[in-house]
């Protein structure tokens, strides 16, 4: 039993660190936009009244509900060629997996068709994210997902607007985000301009 508590402590440390990371701070810039849209009460369902006092795990679960990040992607690319997001009212893992699959397809098609880039990094593992969000592996997959979203945001038609948002953050966070942007836009292990492949 004691071993279990060590695991929990270890995971909650990883979670806390991740939730303070630049990528998470960045994606929370979309909170107002996303919560202002959507279909009424659902969008705010995950937000307690005072989100700043919210426990990192609640915020994390909102990132892994499969809806919020799809909504973020639809702010970045309002014309998804992909299907409906399932409204995940009671935290159903099958719906989460489905929603992450939708998001993966949207990301892949956006990189290939809109940005003319070939994604070489593996897309996030939807099974890990959907079935076991409270694991170290899921945190790693979520980081990948946020990285890919960031890559779309800083290269899309509204990039000036999104970059301006990033510039409103503190210098340290901006620097960390800049490193992430390089990782997802310039690292040939992760992404290639399409013409190289031809």
Task: Indicate the DSSP class of residue 1.
Answer: -
The model carries a pTM of 0.85
Closest CA to 176 of 53, 17, 60, 70: 17
Q: 192 pairs with which residues across the strands?
A: 118
SS3 89: coil
Quickly list H helices, the chain.
Answer: 2-19, 22-27, 31-36, 41-45, 56-63, 68-76, 93-109, 126-131, 136-153, 159-167, 171-185, 194-197
**% of the chain exceeding 90 in pLDDT:** 64
95, pLDDT greater than 70? yes
Closest CA to 101 of 136, 126, 76: 126
- Which residues lie closer than 8 Å to 89 by C-beta, 6 or more apart? 42, 45
Per-residue pLDDT reduced to its tens digit, 6-49: 668 899 899 999 999 999 999 999 988 886 444 433 333 333 33
């Amino acid at each position: 039993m004691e071993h279990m508590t060590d695991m929990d402590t270890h995971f909650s440390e990883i979670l806390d660190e991740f939730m303070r990371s630049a990528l998470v701070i960045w994606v929370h810039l979309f909170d107002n936009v996303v919560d202002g849209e959507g279909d009424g009460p659902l969008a705010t369902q995950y937000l307690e009244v005072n989100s700043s006092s919210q426990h990192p795990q609640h915020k994390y679960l909102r990132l892994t509900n499969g809806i919020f990040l799809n909504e973020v992607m639809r702010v970045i690319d309002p014309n998804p060629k992909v299907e409906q997001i399932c409204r995940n009212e009671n935290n159903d893992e099958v719906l989460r997996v489905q929603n992450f699959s939708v998001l993966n397809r949207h990301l892949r098609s956006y990189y290939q068709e809109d940005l003319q880039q070939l994604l070489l990094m593996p897309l996030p593992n939807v099974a890990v994210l959907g079935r076991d969000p409270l694991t170290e592996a899921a945190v790693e997959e979520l980081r990948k997902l946020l990285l890919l979203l960031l890559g779309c945001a800083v290269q899309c038609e509204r990039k000036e607007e999104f970059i301006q948002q990033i510039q409103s953050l503190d210098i340290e966070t901006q620097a960390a985000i800049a490193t992430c942007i390089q990782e997802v836009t310039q690292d040939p292990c992760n992404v290639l301009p399409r013409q190289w492949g031809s």
